[in-house]
Amino acid sequence: MTLPSLETTPIPGLVVVRLDRRDDSRGFFKENWQREKMLAIGLPDFGPVQNNVSFNADRGVTRGIHTEPWDKFVSLATGRIFGAWVDMREGDTFGATFTLEMDTAVAVFVPRGVGNSYQVLEDATAYTYLVNAHWRPGITYPALALDDSTVAIDWPIPLGEAIISEKDQNNPGLDPSTAIPAKKTLVLGGRGQLGLALAAAFPGCDAVDRAELDVTDADAVAAWPWHEYAVVLNAAAYTAVDAAETPEGRVAAWAANATGPATLAGLAREHGFTLVHYSSDYVFDGTAPLDPGHTEDEPVSPLGVYAQSKAAGDVAVSLAPRHYVLRTSWVIGEGKNFVRTMQSLAEKGVSPSVVDDQVGRLTFTDELVRATRHLLDSDAAFGTYHVSNGGPAMSWRQIAQAVFERSGRSADDVSGTSTEAYAKGVLAQGNPFSPRPLNSAMSLEKLRATGFEPEDAMSALDRYLAG
């Protein structure tokens, strides 16, 4: 069987699929739905969960215009129809129409929010459709009158001669006030430095913190309207790396970094949203060669409790059908962070000692946000990506020296120390200390292959300090 072909329409997302039907003296055969081939021609991976068949005994049966809250893949097992679709979604194409005569060699993908209707042109027509949500009894879904004068569908059989249910004879007219809103974006961890940057980059999103939505709370999860979201950006995490080594911190880290993402992955499967989860270089032990650095297919090898909980979260999220795991390193955003601390010390005349055997790349939150938007907007393949700013890997000391130089101080004012020596000082004070990967540099080649070019970390540092 050859690949089907795809044709776009004036309604965004509504596409016509010409199927490869094989006819002979016995009848015909066709692959009505073959996932790999449909994805290859550009259909979304919409995850059908139910197949329905509407058998129409008589020519002239007319059904619709129905706008249920799911995507549909419609086709015919027998017969012929005149199909009509109306965009009922908010936006510039609200009220746009498309019509098409269909036989068994044609299918149409109908996105959520587009009204669907058809008129039977032959007796014994079997209309079949896949949907990605289960039908539930007792629920009234939006509908539009078949004879609405605004959309003015030119039915081949006059409606006065058609067979129409009483319900469909009483559907309302087109009303912009009832347009179906687009699904939203949800930002979890919306008050953190990454969450704030994400909220600013996704206008109209819902940004919440743990006090507003705790995904480890079963009652809170059950009460949340997950069906309203197309994308969930999970910037929520337990990030107290050293405190995670304490009994209390261990429980909190695993709850936020592993149990929470596992819950989100299950919700993504159930509700069909795309899950974007932000992870860490800490999932590696830091023993990979500096060039190319840690790659996405390298087995995880976490050292401490925080790292172990983040690695478990990566595995959990990878089970969501539509997911991006973005592993990042040394994040710098608004609020307290390493760069601001070094800038403050430089301004105060302090000459600090900074670790010089941990090597990696800074990731500014605007770069992480830019990569997020790129992957979503370009429909990049789902999976795990490494994201940081570009340029050569540097030690914490080298980064501190760069900040000092940009603050009018000498790089020599920043001395070096080892991770081992730093750890001894922390432990001597009775504080917990988690092991760190000495090499946090990650390969960015998979991200580059999607068409994204990371900004050099030092260029981004200049902008950050200037701003």
Give the other-Cβ count within 10 Å of 422's Cβ: 18
Residue with tokens 């990696």: 360
State how far the Cα of 129 lies from the Cα of 367, in Å rounded to an integer.
Answer: 42
State how far the Cα of 201 lies from the Cα of 218, in Å rounded to an integer.
Answer: 29
Give the other-Cβ count within 10 Å of 268's Cβ: 23
Handedness of CA 57, 59, 60, 64 (dihedral sign): positive
Instruction: Judge if the upstream peptide bond of residue 163 is cis by omega within 30 degrees of 0.
Output: no
Q: Is 386 a catalytic residue?
A: no
Give the other-Cβ count within 10 Å of 308's Cβ: 20
The DSSP annotation for 394-460 comes to EEHHHHHHHHHHHTT--GGGSEEE-HHHHHHHHHHTT-------SB--B--HHHHTTT--PPBHHHH
State how far the Cα of 141 lies from the Cα of 344, in Å rounded to an integer.
Answer: 58
Amino acid, single-letter form, for residue 154: D
Strands (E), 90-239: 97-102, 106-110, 114-120, 125-131, 184-188, 206-208, 229-234
Amino acid, single-letter form, for residue 465: L
Angle, helices 457-466/338-348, rounded to nearest 10 degrees: 60
Please give the backbone phi and psi of residue 355, each rounded to the nearest 5 degrees, phi first: -55, 135
Q: Catalytic one among 129, 229, 278, 464?
A: 129
Strands 5-8 and 15-18: antiparallel
Which residues fall within 8 angstroms of residue 369, CB to CB, at 6 or more apart? Answer: 194, 197, 198, 200, 201
Q: Is 129 a catalytic residue?
A: yes
State how far the Cα of 378 lies from the Cα of 388, in Å rounded to an integer.
Answer: 19
> Where in the sequence numbering do the catalytic residues fall?
66, 129
